[in-house]
Amino acid sequence: MFFSAAEVAFVDAAVARLIPADALGPGAKEAGVTYFIDQQLFGGWGTMAKMYRQGPHAEGTPQQGYQSPLTPQEIFRVAIREINLQLGRPFEKLAPKEQDEALKNLEEGKLALESVPSRFFFNLLLESTIEGFFSDPIYGGNRDKAGWKLVGFPGVAAAYTTLVDKHGVPYNAEPVSIADLLEGRVAADEHGHPKHVMITRKD
């Protein structure tokens, strides 16, 4: 794991504002997105395993994309510290409205950071939050398939040959994760596609 306790508190609070828990269901925090981001930062993505890291580094134009000499790991670490310093207290101690304001300021570049463009950090945070909310639960986020249930996505697909031309008919399947198949919780057909179980879904 990569995060410190203080960083976990920050990310928990931030992802809870990006995808809040509400009447529609759990939010990113409840779905384990902080844990997901922590795992991702600790692994290949967090250390730019498949990304080009050689210098020289320059900020470049927005069209040129990721140009920071820092890895995603390092970006989370410095950005969280610098944001909390600027706010004068830890982000998680702010009221939800103030948290939204701070996130908006980051998104719009108004809360400027020293080590990394604030918008760049915000986009990294938002992108990894969405990844954590909608990726297979084997990665630690999307707990209880909260993201998939929210949108009605079945996860691992069945063979849809006889369904693709049943037009306009809702397909409300209990979402299936890779682990469900590996651990035998869901039956599979001869090709390894899950046999989806239909559920009632409120729209």
Partner 1 sequence: MATRLKPVDAVIVGVGLTGTILAKELAESGLQVVGLERGRWRDTDPDFGMPYAHDELRFVKRHALMQDLSRETITFRNSASETALPMRNLGSFRPGEGVGGAAVHWGGLTWRFLPWDFETRTRTLERYGKNQVAADCTMQDWGVTYDELEPHFDRFEHLYGISGKAGNIKGKIIPGGNPFEGPRSRDYATPPLKSSYAGTLFKAAAEKLGYKPFPAPSAALSRPYTNEYGATINACVYCGYCQFFGCEMGAKASPQTAVLPNLVKQKKFELRTHANVTKVNLDSAKKRAVSVSYVDSRGREFEQPADLVLLTSYVFNNVRLMLVSGIGKPYDPAAGSGVVGRNYAYQTPSSVTLFFEDRIFNQFMAAGGLGMVIDEFNGDNFDHSGLGFIGGGFFQAATSGARPIEVRPVPRGTPRWGAEWKAAVAKYFNRSFPITIQGACQSYRGNYLDLDPTYRDILGQPLLRMTFDRHENEHKMSVWLTNKAAEIAKAIGPSKMNVNPRTEKYTIVPYQSTHNTGGAVMGADPATSAVNKYLQSWDVPNVFVVGASAFPQNGGYNPTGTVGALTFQALDAIKTRYLKKPGALV
**Is there binding between residue 200 and partner 1 (CB under 8 A)?**
no
Residue span binding partner 1 (CB under 8 A) among the ranges 3-11, 13-21, 78-86, 110-118: 13-21
Which amino acid is it at 87? L
Which amino acid is it at 48? M
How many other C-beta atoms can be found within 10 angstroms of the C-beta atom of residue 158?
18
Among 93, 108, 110, 163, binds partner 1 (CB under 8 A): 163
Q: Coil, strand or helix: which one is 73?
A: helix
Nearer to partner 1, 3 or 36 (CB): 36
Question: What is the CA angle 33-36-38, rounded to 5?
Answer: 110
Which amino acid is it at 31? A
How many other C-beta atoms can be found within 10 angstroms of the C-beta atom of residue 200?
5
**Is there binding between residue 184 and partner 1 (CB under 8 A)?**
no
Q: How far is the CB of 7 from partner 1 (least distance, A)?
A: 20
Subset of 54-113 contacting partner 1 (CB under 8 A): 54, 56, 58, 60-67, 100, 103, 107
Q: How far is the CB of 110 from partner 1 (least distance, A)?
A: 16
Q: Residue 110: phi, psi to the nearest 5?
A: -80, -30
Nearer to partner 1, 65 or 88 (CB): 65
Nearer to partner 1, 27 or 32 (CB): 27
Q: Is 153 exposed, middle or buried (0-12, 13-18, 19+ CB in 10 A)?
A: middle
Q: Is 56 exposed, middle or buried (0-12, 13-18, 19+ CB in 10 A)?
A: exposed
Applying CB under 8 A, which residues contact partner 1?
17-20, 22, 24, 27, 44-45, 48-54, 56, 58, 60-67, 100, 103, 107, 126, 129-131, 134-136, 138-139, 147-148, 150-161, 163-165, 167-171, 178, 181-182, 188, 191-194
